[in-house]
Amino acid sequence: MIERVDVRYIKTPKQAGLENPVMIEGLPGIGHVGKLVADHLVKVLEVEKVVELYSHHFPPQVMVDEKGIVKLPKNEIYAYRAEGQSPDLLILVGDYQSISNEGHFELANAYIKIAKDFEVSRIYTLGGYGVGKLIEEPYVIGAVNDETLFEELKRHGVKFENGEPAGGIIGAAGLIIGLAMLEGIPSACLMGTTSGYMVDPKSAKAVLDVLIKLLNLEISVEDLEERAKEMERLISQIKEMQEAQMVQFKGDEDLRYFR
Amino acid sequence: MIERVDVRYIKTPKQAGLENPVMIEGLPGIGHVGKLVADHLVKVLEVEKVVELYSHHFPPQVMVDEKGIVKLPKNEIYAYRAEGQSPDLLILVGDYQSISNEGHFELANAYIKIAKDFEVSRIYTLGGYGVGKLIEEPYVIGAVNDETLFEELKRHGVKFENGEPAGGIIGAAGLIIGLAMLEGIPSACLMGTTSGYMVDPKSAKAVLDVLIKLLNLEISVEDLEERAKEMERLISQIKEMQEAQMVQFKGDEDLRYFR
Amino acid sequence: MIERVDVRYIKTPKQAGLENPVMIEGLPGIGHVGKLVADHLVKVLEVEKVVELYSHHFPPQVMVDEKGIVKLPKNEIYAYRAEGQSPDLLILVGDYQSISNEGHFELANAYIKIAKDFEVSRIYTLGGYGVGKLIEEPYVIGAVNDETLFEELKRHGVKFENGEPAGGIIGAAGLIIGLAMLEGIPSACLMGTTSGYMVDPKSAKAVLDVLIKLLNLEISVEDLEERAKEMERLISQIKEMQEAQMVQFKGDEDLRYFR
Amino acid sequence: MIERVDVRYIKTPKQAGLENPVMIEGLPGIGHVGKLVADHLVKVLEVEKVVELYSHHFPPQVMVDEKGIVKLPKNEIYAYRAEGQSPDLLILVGDYQSISNEGHFELANAYIKIAKDFEVSRIYTLGGYGVGKLIEEPYVIGAVNDETLFEELKRHGVKFENGEPAGGIIGAAGLIIGLAMLEGIPSACLMGTTSGYMVDPKSAKAVLDVLIKLLNLEISVEDLEERAKEMERLISQIKEMQEAQMVQFKGDEDLRYFR
C-alpha cells in the first residue's frame, strides 16, 4: 500500500552522511531539459539512492520495461558525496510530476521536508524555458528566491530578463524554490532556453555547463554533448528543408505575376 | 511547507489594535473591478500587513518579478488604523482565487475565521457586474446578507435591481457574504457595472466613490481617476471606429441597390 | 464557516416529534420532476423546517433574491406531522445536487444519517425518466431496493419496465435508495416519464398523484395541475407548429415533381 | 452510509479457510477480457462471496436489474477452496473501476490489503491488450513484478514482447501488481491481445486457457468457447463484407480508366 505522498528513506540523512548538500531537481518538463541534466548527473557521478517517493498524484498505472517487469511511477533522490571542490549533492529525478493541481503542492511539500531533513544549503531546480522557435545558441535564464544569489549566478553566465518567464514557473521547479523561500533556503531555478517543441539535449547541455561551474564539478559531459550534436544536425536539416521550401514558395510567388 | 489553506498571522488581532474594523475584499474577478479598488486602498492608505495566506487551491506555480525574484501565489490582509471619521479597515487583496470548486469554500471559511478573529463589524466584498456591452456611466449595484443595510447603501448610491445578478455572485465575493450571514456579520457585495471584456478602472472608480462615502474616507482617487480617464479615451476611440465602420457598412448597403 | 458536508439541526428528531416518518426526496434533476413534487408538498402541507444542509460540494456562489438578499446554496428538510390517515413525512428539498462525483456519495451519506436519526420507515426518492420525445400521458416507473414493495407500488399505478432506466439512476435519487438498502430501509424511486427537454409539471403531476395514493394524503393539487395544463397548451401549440411545418414540407416535396 | 473505500468482510480470512490462495483480478477494461475470464471462473467454480467493496470512487448512481431492484456499484471477492491439484483462489470481480485518478490508488491499496489479510501467495491480474486491428489468433502477453515468474509463464504460453504494452498498464490490473511488488507478492498481469474495439470473448478464452494451465484447473470452458465461436462468425462476416467492398472498390477503380 502507498500513501497519498509516500516518502521512503533507503538511507537516513545520518546514514547518507552528506554535509549541507546542494539539492538539484530535474523532473520532466518543457523540453525535458531539467530531467536530461539531472539524469546525466546521476549517471556520471558515483551516487547512492537515498529516497524513493510514490504518490497517488502520479498517473494510476505501471510502466513495463524491456524485459517485461513492471515499474510503479516513482521519483527518486540520489546522494553524492563530493571528493573534490564541489559540495555534496542531493539529486531529485523521476518520470512524473503530479497530474493534479493540489498534488503539486503536496509533492513540493515533501521535497522541501526532505531538503530540510538533509539540511541542504541551497536548491537548484532545473527546467526549460520555451520560446516557441528553434534556438541555435541556447542560454540559461534564472529566477531566484533570494537577492544574494544574483551576483554568483550572473558571474557564471545565468541571465535575468525582466520578469521572464512571464507566465511564471509551473510545477515542481517553481513551487520548490517558492516553498524554499518560506523556509529560508536560498534557491534558484535555472532554465535553458528551448523551442518547447521537442526534447532538447542542447539546451540541457547549456544548463549543465552552468551547473558545472556553479558547483565546481569535474564530470564528463560527453554523453549529453553527443546528443546535443545529433540534435544540432537534426535542426540544420530542418532549417535546410525550411529554406528549400521558402525558395520554392518564392518561386511560386514570382510565377504568379505571369499567370 | 504550506498547508491546504495556510493562514499566517504577521500581527495578531491584538497587536494590530483595530477596533471592530470593516473588512474589504478585493480579489481578481470580472473586470478586476474589486481588485483595482482594494489595491488602490492599500496604496493610498497607511496600512500594515497583518496576514499572509497560502493555499494548495491556488495555481501550482510561482510568478517572477521584474528583478527575477519568485513569488508564491498568496493573498494578503492589510490593517488600517483610522484617524478621522472612518472606521478601521481590514483589506483583503491578492492575485488569485481558488482554482477548484471546493477550494473556494475552504478559502472563504478562512477569510471568515480571520474576520471573526479581528471582530469585524461589517464586510464589503467588491466586484464587477458584467453586462456584455460597453458602459459609459458605470454605477454600483449591491447585494446584502441583512435587510438592515438596504437604506444606508441606497442613500449612498447603491442600486438594487430585482434579483440581479441573475446568475448569482460567484467565488469569494459571494461566498464571503454568504458565510458571514451564518455568523451574523452584516455584509454587502458592491459590484460596478462593466462590460466584462476588459480590466475596468472606470467601473472601479464608481465603486471606490461609493465606498469612500460609505466609510467616510478622505483619500486621493487620482491614480484610479487617471486610469479611468485613459480608459474613457480608449472607449471613445473604439466607438468612433465602430461608427465609422457602421457608416461604411451603410454606404456599402446603399450601393447594393445600384449593382 | 461551513464544513464539507454541514448538517444543521433546527429541531432535533425528538423535538420534531415525528413517528417513523416516510422520507421524500425531491432535488433538481431530469425535468425537475422530483423538485416540483417535493416543493409542492412543502407548499401545501403545514410543515416545519428541521434541517439545513450546506456543503463544499454545492456550486461556490450565492444566489440573489428579488429584493437583493443573498442565499448560500443549501438543501432543507421539512417535517410534516400527519393528522389524518397519512404517515408523518420528512421532505428533502433544495436547489442543488453535488457538483462533484465524490460529493454525491458524501451528501447521500448525510441524508441517510438524517433518515436514521429520524427513524424513517421508508424513503421515496422522486425524479424524471427522460425518454427523448414529448410525452402526452406521462406515467410513473419505479425502482425499489426491496422486493416487498413491488405489490403495493404496482397497485397504485407504478410500472416496472424490464430494467429501465437502462442507464441507471444517477445522483441523489439513486444513491439514497442504494445506501438505504445497506441500512435495511425499504425504499423506492418514483420517476415520471418526461421528454427530458424541459421542466415538466405534467410529469410531476403524475408522480404526485401516485404519491398521494401511496401516502393517503389529502392535499390540493391545484397549483401543479394549473402548471401542467399550461404545459399541455404549450405542447399542443408546438405540435400544431410541427404539423404545419410537415404539411408545408410535404407541399414542397410535391412541387419537386413539377420542377 | 459508505466510506470512501468501504471493505466489508462477509467471511473473515479465517472463516474462509483458504490456504495461501492465488488472487485473480478481472475488472472491466480493454475488450472486457479480464472481466469475462474472472466472471467465468466465478460462474463455473463452487465459490463463496467473502468481501463486498463499495466506494465514493465508483460512479454516483445505482443500476436497475430486470425486475426493478437497484444495485449500488460494488466490487466483490469470491473464495474458491480447491479440491484437486489447483491452489485455492480469491477472485476479484465487479462492474466498475475508479472514475478518478486518486481513487485508483485508494482502491488498489484496498485490494492489496485484502490480499495480505488472506495471505495470498501470488496475484494474477487479467486484461486486454488493444492492438487496434482484428485479431484472428489472440494470444497472451505478460508483465511481471518478479523475475522468477518468467520461466513458468513462458512455459505455459505467455509471451513477453520487448516492453509491451508500451503505454503501460492502466488502472487496477497495473497498480495491483505494482503495489504487490512493494509487498513482496510475486504477481503477473496476463493480457489477451484484442482489437480494443469490442467485448472480446475469444481473447478471454485465450487468457482462460493459459490460466487453466497455470492453476491446474479442471473446469468447463464451454460457455466462453461458445461466445468466442459466435464472435468468430461475426468477424468472418465483417471480413467478408470488407473484402466484398474491396472488390467493389477495385471494380470502381478499374472503371475510372474508361471514364
pLDDT greater than 80 at residue A69: yes
Of D229 and C158, the one with more pLDDT: C158
Nearest residue to D79 via CA among D68, D69, D88: D88
Is residue B1 over pLDDT 80? yes
Q: In which band, very low, low, confident or very high, does the pLDDT at B255 lie, cut at 50, 70 and 90? A: very low
In angstroms, rounded to a whole number, what is the distance separating the alpha carbons of residues B171 and C59?
9
Percent of chain C past pLDDT 70, that is, above it, reads 95
Share of chain B above pLDDT 70, in %: 95
Is pLDDT at D56 greater than 80 in this prediction?
yes
Mean model confidence pLDDT for chain C: 93
- Which pLDDT score, from 0 to 100, does residue B231 have? 83
Task: Give contacts of A72 with chain D, Cβ < 8 Å.
Answer: 175, 178-179, 181-182
d(Cα D135, Cα C163) in Å, to the nearest integer?
A: 34
Distance from CA of D52 to the nearest CA of C (A): 12
Give the SS3 label for residue C3: coil
Contact D70 C145 (CB under 8 A): yes
Judging contacts by C-beta atoms under 8 Å, the chain A residues touching residue D177 are: 62, 70
Residue B253 predicted with pLDDT over 60:
no
Interface test with B, best of C8, C52, C61 (most B CBs within 10 A): C61
Q: In this complex, which of B54, B59, B70 lies closest to A143 when CB atoms are compared? A: B70
User: Tens digits of per-residue pLDDT, C62-121?
Assistant: 999 999 999 999 999 999 999 888 999 999 999 999 999 999 999 999 999 999 999 999
DSSP state of B211: H
Q: How far does B17 lie from chain A, in Å, by closest CA?
A: 26
Q: Would you say residue A249 has pLDDT above 90?
A: no
pLDDT value of residue D239:
81
Nearest Cα of chain B lies from the Cα of C75 at a distance, in angstroms, of 15
**Average pLDDT rounded to a whole number, residues D109-136:** 96
pLDDT > 50? residue A255: no
Chain B residues whose CB is inside 8 A of the A107 CB are none
Percent of chain D with pLDDT over 90: 80
Q: Do chains A and B meet with 3 or more Cβ pairs nearer than 8 Å? A: yes
Q: Is the pLDDT of residue D240 over 70?
A: yes
pLDDT tens string A76-119: 999 999 988 899 999 999 999 999 999 999 999 999 999 999 99
Q: How confident is the model at residue D252 (pLDDT cuts 50, 70, 90)?
A: low
pLDDT at A242 (0 to 100): 79
List of chain D residues whose C-beta atoms are within 8 Å of the C-beta of residue C174: 60-62, 70
Name the least confident of A8-22, B43-57, C231-245, D40-54: C231-245
Structural domains in chain B plus CATH codes: 5-220 (3.40.50.10900)
pLDDT at C57 over 80: yes
Chain D residue numbers touching A70 (CB-CB < 8 A):
143-145, 169, 174, 177-178, 181, 189
pLDDT at C144 > cutoff 60 = yes
Cβ of C175 within 8 Å of Cβ of D60? The answer is yes
Place D250 in a pLDDT band, splitting at 50, 70 and 90: low
CB contact under 8 A, A2 and D105: yes
Phi, psi of A246 (to 5 degrees): -60, -45
Chains with 3 or more CB pairs under 8 A to chain C: B, D
Question: How confident is the prediction for chain A on average, in pLDDT?
Answer: 93
DSSP string, chain A: ---SEEEEESS-HHHHT-SSPEEEEE-S-GGGHHHHHHHHHHHHS-EEEEEEEEETTS-SEEEE-TTSBEE---EEEEEE---SSSPPEEEEEES---SSHHHHHHHHHHHHHHHHHTT-SEEEEEEEEE-SS--SS--EEEEESSGGGHHHHHHTT-B--TT-STT-EESHHHHHHHHHHHHT--EEEEEEEE-SSS--HHHHHHHHHHHHHHHT-----HHHHHHHHHHHHHHHHHHHHHHHHHHHHHHHHHHHTT-
Q: How many helices (H) and strands (E) does chain B have?
A: 7, 11
Mean pLDDT of D29-48: 97
CB contact under 8 A, B170 and C64: no
Residues 39-98 of B with CB under 8 A from A: 54, 56-57, 59-72
HEC-encoded secondary structure of A120-187: CCEEEEEEEEECCCCCCCCCEEEEECCHHHHHHHHHCCCECCCCCCCCCEECHHHHHHHHHHHHCCCE
- Residue C112 in grid coordinates: 441517510
Query: Is a pLDDT exceeding 50 seen at residue D258?
Result: no
What number is the average pLDDT over the span C26-44?
97
* D255 touches C at CB < 8 Å: no
Of A222-226, A248-252, D12-16, give the lowest mean pLDDT range: A248-252
Tell me, yes or no, whether chains D and B touch by having 3 or more C-beta pairs under 8 A. no
Instruction: Supply the mean pLDDT for chain D.
Output: 93
Share of chain B above pLDDT 90, in %: 80
Residue C233 is predicted with a pLDDT of: 87
Which of B27, B99, B102 to mutate to test binding with chain C, by most C CBs within 10 Å of its CB? Answer: B102
